[in-house]
Structure 1
Amino acid sequence: MPAPHEVTCVQHLSSIKQLKKKLRLEALGRRDALPVDYRIDASLRIADTGTASLTFAPGTSVSGFWPIRSEVDLRPLLFHMREKGARLCLPVIIDKRTILFRELVRGAPLVETGFGTIGPPEDAAVLDPSLMLVPLAAFDERGHRIGYGAGYYDRAIARLKDACVNPRLIGVAFNCQEVEVVPDEPHDVPLEAILTESGLRSFD
């Protein structure tokens, strides 16, 4: 029979997950409600800000994402970063727990890679990104994020840190996805900054 403190801990974690789920659904609902022309214009502003503000050395591995549903369209920013010398990569789902980042090469085909995404095929090089443009459902003013609930990025970041890669984490979202407070969990890693249509906001 579990000890009382163990029961309390389980109940607390369950409460956090329920709150995160609520915040996620509300933030995604606001994002889905944005007019298409607003999302296009906001994505272009994000690309302009990111191009001007994000610095990296030529040859740096940068992970992005191809937009699904009502996400920010990162493609204009990614193409600018490639022109500045970035090696681009996109996440691909390997199994129910794992994503890897395959190199995005100009002219190479894209294939379905799970979760409604497309990305480079199996023969593409696997990179360990040192700069990650992170998709998210919600974020707060401290730089904490809520993902889509599957934990892929949390595990990928942990794997990179175990391999002595400490990637810079830049969240990408629309302003409407900000929430007052994201409840913390032990595995959470705060973002370095968030990139929205209002600009690049850095966190301590």
Structure 2
Amino acid sequence: MQTQLPIKELKKALRLEALARRDALPADYRSNASLQIADHGLPAIALSPGEIVSGFWPIRSEVDLRPLLFALRDKGARLCLPVIVDKQTIIFRELVKHMPMIETGFGTSGPHEDAPVVDPTFMLVPLAAFDERGHRIGYGAGYYDRAIARLQGLGVNPRLLGIAFDCQKVETVPDEPHDVPLEAILTESGLRSFGSIDKAN
């Protein structure tokens, strides 16, 4: 326990610094960079027919992932978005055409509760900061860490692709035993791959 507090404090400082850099990006830069992310990501991501891909609707100054998500749907992917169930848990509901979006917690929007709950096999993961090893710092609530662990417990080992702007890169993310490294990071400058993100199951 004595070694965890400094790591958490360091993660918090790195998170705040990276998010401040992201917040400082002009809106037109974020819009153009989001389109570049879609352009880089679409040819690099290999999917099996009907594969379930989780994404996220942008909040605050996040990457607008919608261009990439819709392009992946055109390639045959089934899309889903995270929904906060309680302070510990997120589930994923399928993004079904013509079904209304609702507020789903933490400032996010997601599919209506009538949408099917699914288990993604490919996850586009939001983050606050990342390093060149594929380690990420989330927003501090641990939702994705627990969701990934739950999926792995079910025998689903989703491929993990982090989504960020270049300015969110830090020199080193202090990792802990429970942290799951990403297979790749996708930014406006391209794909940094650490695993087999470009190989379909």
Q: TM-score range by the shorter chain?
A: over 0.9
| Residues 1:34 and 2:25 are matched in the alignment | yes
Match of 1:5 in 2: none
| Residues 1:131 and 2:131 are matched in the alignment | no
Match of 2:49 in 1: 58
Match of 2:14 in 1: 23
Deviation at 1:132, TM superposition (A): 0.1
For 2:3 and 2:13, how far apart are their aligned partners in 1? 15
Deviation at 1:122, TM superposition (A): 1.1
For 2:44 and 2:169, how far apart are their aligned partners in 1? 21
Q: Deviation digits for residues 84-126 of structure 1, max 9, x if unmatched?
A: 0000000000000000000001111000000000001111101
- The alignment yields a C-alpha RMSD, in angstroms, of 0.6
Deviation at 1:203, TM superposition (A): 1.2
Alignment match of 2:68 (pick from 72, 77, 83):
77
Match of 1:193 in 2: 184
For 2:2 and 2:166, how far apart are their aligned partners in 1? 32
Match of 1:7 in 2: none
Match of 2:156 in 1: 165
TM-score by length of 2: 0.96
Deviation at 1:186, TM superposition (A): 1.0
Match of 1:101 in 2: 92
For 2:12 and 2:159, how far apart are their aligned partners in 1? 26
Bigger Rg, which one: 1
Deviation at 1:174, TM superposition (A): 0.2
For 2:7 and 2:128, how far apart are their aligned partners in 1? 16
For 1:121 and 1:94, how far apart are their aligned partners in 2? 13
Structure 1, gaps ≥5 residues long: 1-9
**What letter matches 2:54 in structure 1?**
S
Q: Deviation digits for residues 136-181 of structure 1, max 9, x if unmatched?
A: 0000000000000000000000000000000000000000000000
Q: Deviation digits for residues 15-50 of structure 1, max 9, x if unmatched?
A: 000000000000000000000010000000001111
**What letter matches 1:192 in structure 2?**
E
Match of 2:131 in 1: 140
Deviation at 1:13, TM superposition (A): 0.1
Percent of aligned pairs sharing the same letter: 75
For 1:107 and 1:185, how far apart are their aligned partners in 2? 41
Structure 2, gaps ≥5 residues long: 196-201
For 2:120 and 2:95, how far apart are their aligned partners in 1? 12
Match of 2:39 in 1: 48
Alignment match of 2:166 (pick from 163, 175, 193):
175
TM-score by length of 1: 0.95
Structure 1 residue runs of 4+, over 3 Å off? none
